[in-house]
Structure 1
Amino acid sequence: MEPPEMMRESPLSRILRGLALLVVALFFLFPIFWVLLMSFQTNEQILRIPPSLFFEPTLGNYVALVSGKLETAAGTLEIPFMRNLGNSVLLSAVSVALSLVLGVPAAYAFARFRFRLGENIAFTLLSFRFAPPLLVLLPLSLYFQDLGLNDTYTGLIWVYQLISLPLILWIVRGYFEDISPDIEHAYRIDGHSWWRTFTRIALPLARPGIAAAALLAFIFCWNNFIFALILASADKQPVTVGALAFVTASGIQYGQIAAAVILSVTPTLLLALYAQRYLVEGLSLGAVKG
Structure 2
Amino acid sequence: MMKTKKSWNITAAVVVIAFILNIPLINTVFTSLKTEGDISAQPPKFWFTPTFEHFQNVLYAAGYDFPKFFLNSITLALSTSLLVIAISLPSAYAIVRLGFGKKQLMPFATGLRLFPPIIFAIPYYMMFQYLGLLDTVAGLVLINIFLNIPLGLLLMIGFLRDLPKDIEESAVIDGCNVFQVLFKIILPLMGPGIASVGILTFIFSWNDYLFAVIVALKNATPVTLGATMFITSWGIKWGDISAATLLSILPPLLFTFFAQRYLVKGLSAGSVKG
Tell me by how many angstroms 1:185 deviates. 1.9
Task: Give, in angstroms, the shift of residue 274 of structure 1.
Answer: 2.4
Alignment map for 1:193-272 (pairs within 5 Å)? 193-272=177-256
Q: Who is 1:75 aligned against?
A: none
TM-score norm. by structure 1 comes to 0.85
Q: Which runs of 5+ in 1 are unaligned?
A: 1-7, 70-77
After superposition, the Cα gap between the structure-2 partners of 1:28 and 1:95, relative to the gap in structure 1 and judged at 3 Å, is same
Return the letter of the residue paired with 1:85: F
**Does 132-141 or 31-40 show the bigger shift?**
132-141
- How many correspondences in the alignment? 274
Aligned residue in 2 for 1:92:
77
Question: Is 1:110 matched with 2:95?
Answer: yes
CA distance in 1, matches of 2:108, 2:47: 54
Aligned match for 1:136, one of 87, 112, 120: 120
1:38–1:258 contact (8 Å) kept in structure 2:
yes
Higher CA-based Rg: 1
Say if 2:34 and 2:49, in contact at 8 Å, map to a contact too: yes
Q: CA deviation at 1:53?
A: 2.0
Structure 2 length normalisation: TM-score? 0.89
Structure 1: distance between partners of 2:268 and 2:197: 15
- C-alpha separation in 2, matches of 1:18 and 1:111: 43
Percent of aligned pairs sharing the same letter: 35
Aligned to 1:4: none
User: For the residues of structure 2 that align with 1:286 and 1:141, how far apart are their CA atoms?
Assistant: 37
> Does the CA-based 8 Å contact 2:161-2:270 persist in structure 1?
no
Matching residue of 1:3: none
1:159 aligns to 2:152 (yes or no): no
Q: Label 1:257 to 1:101 Cα distance change in 2 as closer, same or farther (>3 A).
A: same
1:74 equivalent in structure 2: none
C-alpha deviations, 1:194-221, integer Å up to 9, x for none? 3333234323333222222221111111
**What SS class does the counterpart of residue 234 from structure 1 fall into?**
coil
State the SS of the aligned residue for 1:118: coil
Q: Unmatched 5+ residue regions in structure 2?
A: none
TM-aligned CA deviation for residue 285 of structure 1? 5.5
In the alignment, the residues of structure 1 paired with residue 128 and residue 271 of structure 2 have an alpha-carbon distance, to the nearest angstrom, of 46
Deviation at 1:42, TM superposition (A): 2.1
Following superposition of structure 1 onto structure 2, how do residues 7-18 of structure 1 map, counting pairs within 5 Å? 10-18=3-11
Q: Is the 8 A contact 1:40 1:61 kept in 2?
A: yes
What is residue 45 of structure 1 aligned with on the other side?
A: 38
